[in-house]
Amino acid sequence: MIINNPNRYAIFVVGVATQIVFSATFLGLPAASLLLRSALDLSTGGLALMLGAASLAVVFVETPWGVAADRFGERRVLLTGIIGTVLSLSLLAFATWQEAPLWVMSLLLFVAAASGGAVTGPSGSAILGWFGERRHGTLLSLRVAAVPVGGALGTVLYAWLLSVASPFIAFSFFAGLCLLCALLVWVLVFDPAKVAPAAHIHRSTFRSGAIWRVATSGFLLDVTQFLVLTFSVVMLAEIHRLPAITGVVLVTVMQLAGGGFRVVLGICTDLIGTSSRTIAVRMLAGIQVVCLVVFLVLPQPAAVAGSCLLIITGIASCAWQGVHFTHIAALAGARSAGAALGLNNAATSLGAFLPQVLVGVLVEANDWPLVILLLGVAPAAAATVIFPPGTRTQSAFMARREVS
What's residue 398's pLDDT?
A: 38
Q: How far apart are the C-alpha atoms of 330 and 201, rounded to whole Å? A: 15
CB-based contacts of 107: which residues, under 8 Å, 6+ apart?
Answer: 53
pLDDT of residue 261: 87
Burial class (CB in 10 A: 0-12, 13-18, 19+), 241: exposed
Q: Given a cut of 80, is residue 98 above it in pLDDT?
A: yes
pLDDT of 401 over the 50 cut? no
pLDDT (tens digit per residue) in 11-54: 888 888 998 999 889 888 876 777 888 888 888 778 878 877 88
The alpha carbon of residue 165 and the mean position of all alpha carbons in its chain are separated, in whole angstroms, by 29
| More confident position, 55 or 198 | 55
Please report, for the chain, the start and end positions of each structural domain, with discontinuous segments joined by +.
8-195, 201-391
pLDDT of residue 404: 41
Q: Which of 196-210, 212-226, 338-352 has the lowest mean pLDDT?
A: 196-210
Instruction: Choose the most confident range, by mean pLDDT, from 99-108, 240-249, 389-398.
Output: 99-108
- Name the pTM for this structure: 0.77
Q: Which one, of 267, 214, 263, lies nearest residue 395 by Cα? A: 267
Q: Which of 155, 215, 206 is nearest to 350 (CA)?
A: 215
Q: Where are the alpha helices (DSSP H) in 32-133?
A: 33-40, 44-72, 74-97, 102-128
As a whole number of Å, the end-to-end CA separation of the chain is: 10
**pLDDT at residue 402, rounded to an integer:** 42
8-195, what's its fold? Growth Hormone; Chain: A; (1.20.1250)
pLDDT tens by residue, 285-297: 999 999 999 988 8
Residue 1 has a pLDDT of 44
Percentage of the chain lying above the pLDDT 70 cut: 86
Q: How far is CA 341 from the centre of its chain?
A: 11
CATH (residue range 201-391): 1.20.1250.20
DSSP 3-state of 197: coil
Residue 5 has pLDDT above 70, yes or no: no
Angle, helix 244-272 to helix 276-297, in steps of 10 degrees: 160
Contact of 355 with 231, CB cutoff 8 Å: yes
pLDDT band at 396; cut points 50, 70, 90: very low
| Confidence (pLDDT) at 85 | 95
Same fold for the pair 8-195 and 201-391: yes
User: Residue type at 177?
Assistant: L
- Report the sign of the C-alpha dihedral through residues 251, 313, 354, 377, in that order: negative
Instruction: Return the number of other C-beta atoms located less than 10 Å from residue 169's C-beta.
Output: 15
Burial of 243 (0-12, 13-18, 19+ CB in 10 A): exposed
Q: What is the mean pLDDT of the chain?
A: 82
Looking at residue 403, what is its pLDDT?
Answer: 39
- Looking at mean pLDDT, say which of 108-117, 184-193, 353-362 comes out highest: 108-117
pLDDT of 6 above 90: no
Cα 252 to Cα 73, 222, 260, 263, 352, distances in angstroms: 37, 17, 12, 17, 18
* Per-residue pLDDT at 305 exceeds 90: no
